[in-house]
Amino acid sequence: MQTFSIAHTVKDKYKTLFGTEPIVVRSPGRVNIIGEHTDYNEGFVLPAAIDKASYVAVGLRNDDRISLYAEEFGDSFESSLTTLAPTDRGWPNYILGVADQLQKSGHALKGFNMVLSGDVPIGAGLSSSASIECATGFALNELFGLSISRLELVKLAQRAEHLFAGVRVGIMDMFASAFGKQDHVIKLDCRSLDYEYVPLKMDGIKIVLFNSNVEHSLASSEYNMRRQQCEAGVALIKAHHPEVASLRDATMEMLHKYVEPADALVYKRCKYVVEEKERLLQGCEDLKRGDIKALGKKMFATHDGLSKEYEVSCEELDFLVDQVRNKEAVLGARMMGGGFGGCTINLVREDAVEDLIKETTTNYNQQMKLKLLSYIAQIEDGTSVLSI
Ligand code: GLA
């Protein structure tokens, strides 16, 4: 119902502002069951697209200008196609960055108008930025008849985020947004980009997201720093094992031998990643067997690693995970995404969801003095051009 209404909102707004019929594209946010901070280490991830999405309505202009309007902010932005550059206004960067990447890849663009809206909460770790980038890429691909493949659009969106948002993100968020499949998670090998759809067999269990409503400004600088620390670990191993190209190839033995004596902090970071790599592969088998209890235990272990070794959690996220840790009805929980705020993901028995939300909301509010938002995530298809 909501999908329907936001798609129509952007379409109607476009017609009001620009007077022609637009192309409308939907691109969802994502959850990630397990496999955090593994994508840029060429490991595996297990994300899925959700029922919260960004929507864009796009159409041609007769000049070389870009005119953008963001419904949520009631804000507009204009630029020339020939002078695309990041702006400190924030939201236009995700669109400008994609247009820039299309041009840099040799595609001739002309001026366009765009209206943006959506219901992916911003800064909640549900990849609102990737969903805007994918929506933009797919919409311009359609508008200019560029015939770019889904995978190329994903890679292009990732480069846009690097250059126009300044965060050296991995490929998970864009891939999940573009390749999502209803009721399935994607087991993605971030080295080869081979992927497999694994059915989400979780009878009687819901995916509950608790949005901490915290968005630390550290997120992008610390994210880039973690990447550097992983690269530093690889360099230390590579001196002895030239075949090791990323932490994907590293073993605990290598970490003990070459990284631990050289740099205690880098060792801690790399240890988390190497363990998480293994946890994901086993967690995926749990899911295939329908053993959600075993998968859930691994999610708690992931949280502890992210909090204590990778150090990308925060007080509020730790609080939310600790709240549910010993509850029989909660099979697994952890912070999700880049960290320093955003959501926790919880696997919760259906009959306990309502009470859990009530209780956690009250406790969070009392202890953290913050409002807790909660969502029950449905797993949906990835990016599509809508025929409305
Ligand atoms: C952010 C990034 C992803 C990934 C996660 C952590 O969401 O955009 O590429 O690295 O953090 O797993």
Burial 361-384 (b: 16+ CB within 10 A, else e): eeebeeebeeebbbbebebbbbbb
Q: What is the pLDDT of residue 1?
A: 44
Residues 8-28: what's their mean pLDDT? 98
Q: Tell me the pLDDT tens digit for each residue of 130-147.
A: 999 999 999 999 999 999
Expressed in angstroms and rounded, the spacing between residue 210 Cα and the centre of ligand 1 is 18
Half-sphere exposure (CA, 13 Å, Cβ side) for 210?
Answer: 33
CA-to-CA distance for 307 and 335, rounded, in angstroms? 9
> Are the C-beta atoms of 370 and 213 separated by less than 8 Å?
yes
Expressed in angstroms, the distance from the first to the final Cα of the chain is 13
pLDDT above 90: residue 60 = yes
Mutate to test the pocket of ligand 1, among 32, 131, 133, 169 (most ligand atoms within 8 A of CB): 169
Mean pLDDT of the chain: 96
Average pLDDT over residues 161-175: 96
Task: Let me know if 189 is a catalytic residue.
Answer: no
Residue 55 confidence (pLDDT) above 90? yes
Element counts in the chain: helices (H) and strands (E): 11, 13
**Ligand 1 atom at shortest distance from the alpha carbon of 36:** 12
What spacing in Å lies between the alpha carbon of 307 and ligand 1's midpoint? Answer: 15
pLDDT bucket at 219, cuts 50 / 70 / 90: confident
Average pLDDT of span 289-294: 96
Q: How does residue 217 score in pLDDT terms, banded at 50, 70 and 90?
A: confident
- On the question of pLDDT at 3 being above 80, the answer is no
Closest atom of ligand 1 to 40 CA is 10
Max Cα distance, the chain (Å): 66
Ligand 1 surroundings by CB, under 6 angstroms: 36-37, 39-40, 169-170, 172-173, 337-338
